[in-house]
């Protein structure tokens, strides 16, 4: 029986730059950074990061070429670069404090924290153009 999702793919334009952004600006930890298969034969780089203290949650910072033909990879790159992909919600206990901390590290916010029916939400983008909701849920 499936009991959770352990990995989520985030398409990035440059894995080195994404690694720096997710660790340096968001404060995530690198979990895995290896090349699978011979590089001379197009081996893929498996790069994952996750929030400290949450070893069961990993984001795969994937090159769009991973698992795709060149045409499809190009289409994914175009969508990421133009900011057309909202990739998910990142949870926090204090949206205002996390917003201030991340903005201080240079994270670009598209929307500052605002009250919503479900909680307090801000929206930020990564260095590839992916956007995320940063959400503090209201108590149940």
Q: Would you identify the CATH topology of the domain 7-137?
A: 2,3-Dihydroxybiphenyl 1,2-Dioxygenase; domain 1 (3.10.180)
- pTM, two decimals, is 0.91
| Cα-based distances in Å from 75 to 16, 66, 85, 90 | 21, 13, 12, 26
- pLDDT digits over 37-47, tens only? 766 566 789 99
Break the chain into its structural domains and give their ranges.
7-137
Q: How confident is the model at residue 75 (pLDDT cuts 50, 70, 90)?
A: very high
62-71: long-range pairs with CB below 8 Å, 24+: 62/9, 62/10, 62/11, 62/12, 62/15, 63/11, 63/12, 63/15, 64/11
Q: β-strand 7-11 against 58-62: which pairing, if any?
A: parallel
d(Cα 93, Cα 86) in Å, to the nearest integer? 21
């Amino acid at each position: 029986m499936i009991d959770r999702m352990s990995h989520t793919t985030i398409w990035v334009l440059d894995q080195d730059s994404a690694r720096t952004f997710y660790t340096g600006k968001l404060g995530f930890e690198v979990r895995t950074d290896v090349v699978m298969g011979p590089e001379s034969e197009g081996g893929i780089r498996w790069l994952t990061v996750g929030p400290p203290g949450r070893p069961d949650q990993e984001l795969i910072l994937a090159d769009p070429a991973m698992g795709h033909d060149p045409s499809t990879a190009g289409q994914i790159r175009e969508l990421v670069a133009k900011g057309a992909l909202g990739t998910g919600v990142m949870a926090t206990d204090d949206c205002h404090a996390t917003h201030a901390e991340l903005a201080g590290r240079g994270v670009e916010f598209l929307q500052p924290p605002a009250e919503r029916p479900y909680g307090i939400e801000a929206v930020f983008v990564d260095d590839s153009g992916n956007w995320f909701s940063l959400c503090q849920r209201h108590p149940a």
